[in-house]
Amino acid sequence: MLLLISLPCLFVGCGKTKPTPVTTNTKTKEAVDPWPRAVSALRKDADLVVCQRVLNELNAAIPATPADDHPQALLAEVVAEIRKLLNLGDDESKELQSVSFTPLDAHYLTECLYLRDIARTLDVASAPPAQRARIAFEWVCRHVVLAPWRLPMPPGETLRRGAGSGLDRAYVFAAIASQLDLEVYFVGQSGAIDWKATHIPAGQKDAKGPFWAVAVRDGDEFLLYDPWRGEPIPGANPDRPATLAEVRAKPETVAVWLDNKAVPWDVGKEDLRAGELYVALPMSASAGRLRLLESKLKTDTGVRLFTDLIARLESAKTAAKGVPVRVWSPARDPFCLTNILRAYLSPTEGGIGVEKVEAIQASQLPRASLFAPPAGMTNPEALNTLMAVVLSRYAESFMKLPTPRERIQRGNFITTAESLYTLRDEFTKRAAQLQVDEKKEQTLKEFVDRAEQFFGKTVLAMRADPAVNPPALVNAAVGGFFKDHLAGMEVALDGQQSKGMLAEATFLLAMGKHERAERIQRAYERTSRLADGKETASARLAANDEWSAALDLWQQYDRQAEVQKADFPGRAEHARRLTARATQMAAATR
């Protein structure tokens, strides 16, 4: 039964302990090694609240520990070089030089631990670089539907949204690749060094960013992927993506894309010939204190936090054999990878606050999927209140941290599926009850009439009375009205709400089952190379079971996808591609 007298928060922070900003208190009573406690805490939970608490405790305890365990400041000449490469101002340079953990560090650590969990689910740590890159790239393109928000987003927010631009995919891919010990570079022409993340290429209407590919370093080769198309760029070797050296020397290598009129590619031969490599990293990755934090955490948590920007640049230049390698960090661009996390954080959190995460979250609330105005209801406040009730339930089910999507991405398939099936059962039951309710039309009419009367007269009169305190008394009256008219409210909401909630739960179940199938498929392929026939047959059967289950869920979603079309553009087509993949693999493993 749906009862919401006071509407809960609609966004993903609901139900979480309020984060405590990281402080730089250096007082401590006794010298106790703080690192085992920090590692233990981060093993159990890696959310923002825990990361902030751990860094606060480290700031307080480290001054009393041996000097070797203190974060070391970067050398002045190193800071000067990084500042020049990243176009940093005075405030950013202070952030880079701090030897105490900062508020920004907690957000960066939280995101890196999220990405670390994703990297672990791929189970490719021992695979060659090209295979790690392929599997990670395919994962990103499965989990990020190509449906841009109005601005680039931090990788963690892109993943929670489940959709973004090609540039968002590139940011996510680079971040996950870092946790897989891979080097990712962006690929564009020489002028791209000054182009901002919101760059609109000549002849286009929409922002695409400055780059036409990402490259993964494999020895002295740079393998190319197009995150907008979601595919590796084809080269002469059908088993490997094209390399940058290959397409620069012979653009016709990619003729299969260049000459494809049915699926045009907005990259030309001159772009390929002029391709250059760009290093792009979050600003936090260059801070010296993160080197110490990584060294203390990496053995137990496997998280990667620090990158020597100058060494990365010089090493890439050597491997590139004359292909220009530059650092992409345009001045005053809050949405380049250097600044993207800071762009969505307030100054007290270590950010610059030019955008808010809440705006991204608000865009994820599927109004059309969940709410259809009841016939005869015209009062705007009544309609808005009913919609808020529906959206609050959706936010509680799908947007409360850690969200079901995030738990799936971290590899928590089983318990997440259980909660989603419970949710589906609840709304399936509601929809069935509504179908057989012979009095629903009468109940709905009575509810609409009373709501129109209540909001159109009673609420207006209360607001016009100077003796009434609207925030308290009016809200209490509204809650009381809905409490007294639960049956009518449920009839008004349950039909469309059930369709939208069922569709979302089914989509997420399909994503989780598909991801599990991909993992078991990789295990089967390893077994088929190493094991005897009996073990191979068992692994193949396990893979077939998972693919068949994934296919069944995708087919269920296909029958529900229409209800989400207006709210989630591109999702239905994305689901059809994954359905095709599941169909193919189910057949291949029979």
Round to the nearest angstrom and report the end-to-end CA distance of the chain.
Answer: 44
Grouping H, G, I as helix, E, B as strand and the rest as coil, residue 155 is helix
Q: Hey, where are the domains in the chain?
A: 76-86+122-356, 367-588
Q: Which amino acid makes up residue 370?
A: L
Residue 2: predicted pLDDT: 42
Residue 532: predicted pLDDT: 66
The whole-model pTM stands at: 0.93
Residue whose C-alpha is closest to residue 66's, from 92, 31, 19: 31
Residue 12: predicted pLDDT: 46
The string of pLDDT tens digits covering residues 260-307 is 999 999 999 999 999 999 999 999 999 999 999 999 999 999 999 999
Give the Cα separation of 245 and 243 in Å (integer): 5
- The per-residue b/e assignment along 232-253, b for 16 or more CB within 10 angstroms, e otherwise, is bbbbeeeebbbbbbbbbebbeb
Strands (E), 324-439: 325-327
Task: Find residue 215's DSSP bridge partners.
Answer: 185, 224
Q: Sign of the C-alpha dihedral, residues 499, 502, 506, 507?
A: positive
Which regions in the chain score pLDDT beneath 50? 1-12, 15, 26, 28-29
Residue 6: predicted pLDDT: 43
Q: For the CA atoms of the chain, what is the radius of gyration?
A: 27
- Which residue in this structure is represented by tokens 């050398």? 75
Q: State both tokens at 70.
A: 């203190």
Give the Cα separation of 272 and 283 in Å (integer): 29
The string of pLDDT tens digits covering residues 77-128 is 999 999 999 999 999 999 999 999 999 999 999 999 999 999 999 999 889 9
DSSP 388-419: HHHHHHHHHHHTSSSPHHHHHHTT-HHHHHHH
- The per-residue b/e assignment along 339-374, b for 16 or more CB within 10 angstroms, e otherwise, is bbbbbbbeeebbbbeebebeebbeebbbeebbbeeb
What are the C-alpha distances in Å from 45 to residues 38, 57, 71, 341?
Answer: 11, 16, 24, 21
Residue 17: predicted pLDDT: 53
What are the C-alpha distances in Å from 514 to residues 122, 162, 523, 551?
Answer: 13, 15, 14, 8
Residue 7: predicted pLDDT: 43
Residue 16: predicted pLDDT: 53
